[in-house]
Amino acid sequence: MDQKPLRISLDDSPEALRAALSQLREQHKHFVNSELALDLTRGKPATAQLDLSNALLGPIDSHSAGTDLRNYGGLDGLPAAKALCAELLGIAAETAQARLLVGGNSSLSLMHAVVSFANFLGLAGQAWSDEKNQTGQATKILCPSPGYDRHFAICEQLGIEMLVMPLTGQGPDMDALEKAAQDHSVKGIWCVPRFSNPSGEVYSDATVARLAALPKIAANNFLVLWDNAYALHAFHDKAPALASIEHEADKAGTLNQVVQFGSTSKMTFAGSGISYLASSETTKQAFAKHLAKVSIGPDKLNQQRHVNLLKDAATAKAHMRRHAEILAPKFNAVLQALDAGLAGCNMGDWSEPEGGYFVSFDARPGLANKIVALAAEAGVKLTPAGATFPYGRDPEDRNIRLAPSFPALEEVQRAAEVFVNCVQIASLEDALSR
């Protein structure tokens, strides 16, 4: 930043606001003229993060797993990869081989498959679409929001109605969920339980236990879709831990209806990682039976590359600390800029995540689209406003997701300053127009 950020609060006098607005517009013009090209749209690892896994680019022994990794076979994935991924998900080693499956380079594909199979073919219980045809009631999925746009896109594609559910900072509002799940046309819930996308919150132990028990209230083919995408993605060692939903579901007797997902996309190479899924043995087998019609098996060579690199949970955690060293300063830069320009100014609230890939910003109602448009003018691309809500519709037009992982640190700093300026302009214009 060329100068200290201008600080102005909506509680200041209209004269002060008008004077500030004119200065802020000058600053905006300056940004526009600088022809920036910064992109905070997606949770994409930076080059330096990818470099941490460059051992994956090296040569590999095709027989290192005691089998010919080059040939067909092994729908469930390599046993060694299953053991590794169980550690990454926190699945007990003794049940890992029975309960877990390791796939290709995309956990999104596993999630799409689970929802498609459950909807059209039946996974844990009757196919949702068959039931819909019988009852005439739309199939519904609970969507704690703001949430992950690609989860919502799956539902939209398959014609599954999405119900927006509130988040509390400790995970979804369980009272609201437990009420909603009593409607047995509700067939599932999307969860990103640690460092939620985008709110960054970590589900509390009590929330995990209540979510694990939810299938007892809900329809008998209801699924808890547990996308543990950021299980090991803390910025520091004191970040809140996540309780084991497997443990809670085992206790509650609901494991057939809980499906956990994860991937190494943000641990190794975003486009060339491995993905995994775990549930009860019964549900995993039902999934594998359907999957056998889709694929003869995953890329075992790439699974073995990951076994060689990540080895076990301890090695993976050490690896993730190196990711944190790169990510944490970028998140700090965003938070410092927000703090310097906006703290106590009544123009919005934001998350202070201890891990994950996002800062979630809530502007004053009605301003998110405007802020994103202003930022675009100034050369800072943000995730489209609304994208964090089902159907791309933020009912209050408030939420903006900031994804600072990919650009270089100084670019993140600059983008955050532009963002603060845009929030200030939109907020002042709004206040002065009333």
Residue type, 42: R
* DSSP H or E run through 21: helix 14-33
- Tell me how far, at minimum, the Cβ of 133 lies from its own copies, in Å: 8
- Tell me how far, at minimum, the Cβ of 194 lies from its own copies, in Å: 21
Helix (H, G, I), strand (E, B) or coil at 46: coil
Nearer to its own copies, 96 or 270 (CB): 270
How far apart are the C-alpha atoms of 232 and 263, rounded to whole Å?
11
The correct pick among 247, 290, 317, 381 for binding its own copies (CB under 8 A) is 290
CA atoms within 13 A of residue 331's CA, in its CB half-sphere: 25
Nearer to its own copies, 121 or 345 (CB): 121
Q: What does DSSP say about strands 275-278 and 258-263: parallel, antiparallel, or unpaired?
A: antiparallel
Nearer to its own copies, 105 or 204 (CB): 105
The correct pick among 300, 306, 401, 414 for binding its own copies (CB under 8 A) is 300
Name which of residues 248 to 267 contact its own copies (CB under 8 A).
265
The correct pick among 193, 298, 348, 379 for binding its own copies (CB under 8 A) is 298
Query: Applying CB under 8 A, which part among 180-188, 222-230, 242-250, 293-301 lies near its own copies?
Result: 293-301
- Told to check if 203 binds its own copies by CB under 8 A, we report no
Q: What does DSSP say about strands 348-350 and 359-363: parallel, antiparallel, or unpaired?
A: antiparallel
312-339 burial code (b ≥16 CB/10 A, e <16)? ebeebeebbeebbebbeebbbbbbebbe
Nearest to 77 by CA among 273, 230, 223: 273
The correct pick among 6, 83, 167, 301 for binding its own copies (CB under 8 A) is 301
Name which of residues 365 to 394 contact its own copies (CB under 8 A).
none
- Told to check if 116 binds its own copies by CB under 8 A, we report yes
How far apart are the C-alpha atoms of 30 and 33, rounded to whole Å?
5
Query: Applying CB under 8 A, which part among 88-96, 116-124, 224-232, 244-252 lies near its own copies?
Result: 116-124
Nearer to its own copies, 139 or 207 (CB): 139
- Told to check if 311 binds its own copies by CB under 8 A, we report no
- Told to check if 112 binds its own copies by CB under 8 A, we report yes
Nearer to its own copies, 72 or 237 (CB): 72
Interface map 4-43 toward its own copies (x if CB under 8 A): --------------------------------------x-
Name which of residues 143 to 182 contact its own copies (CB under 8 A).
150, 153-154, 157-158
How far apart are the C-alpha atoms of 287 and 110, rounded to whole Å?
10
How far apart are the C-alpha atoms of 206 and 424, rounded to whole Å?
38
Nearest to 224 by CA among 109, 156, 113, 142: 142
Nearer to its own copies, 296 or 344 (CB): 296
Nearest to 275 by CA among 76, 50, 72, 69: 76
The correct pick among 17, 40, 74, 85 for binding its own copies (CB under 8 A) is 74
Residue reference for tokens 């803390």: 234
Per DSSP (E only), the strands in 302-387 are 348-350, 359-363, 380-382
Q: What is the DSSP string of 302-326?
A: HHHHHHHHH-SHHHHHHHHHHHHHH
Decide if 268 contacts 310 (C-beta within 8 A). yes
- Told to check if 121 binds its own copies by CB under 8 A, we report yes
- Told to check if 317 binds its own copies by CB under 8 A, we report no
- Tell me how far, at minimum, the Cβ of 278 lies from its own copies, in Å: 20
Decide if 64 contacts 304 (C-beta within 8 A). yes
With contacts defined by CB under 8 A, how many residues of the chain interact with its own copies? 53
Nearer to its own copies, 24 or 115 (CB): 115
Largest distance between two CA atoms of the chain: 76
Name which of residues 41 to 70 contact its own copies (CB under 8 A).
42, 44-45, 47, 50, 53-54, 56-62, 68-70
Q: What does DSSP say about strands 275-278 and 100-102: parallel, antiparallel, or unpaired?
A: antiparallel
- Told to check if 84 binds its own copies by CB under 8 A, we report no
Decide if 222 contacts 187 (C-beta within 8 A). yes
Chain residues in the site for its own copies (CB under 8 A): 42, 44-45, 47, 50, 53-54, 56-62, 68-74, 104-106, 108-109, 112, 116, 120-121, 133, 150, 153-154, 157-158, 265, 269-272, 290, 292-302
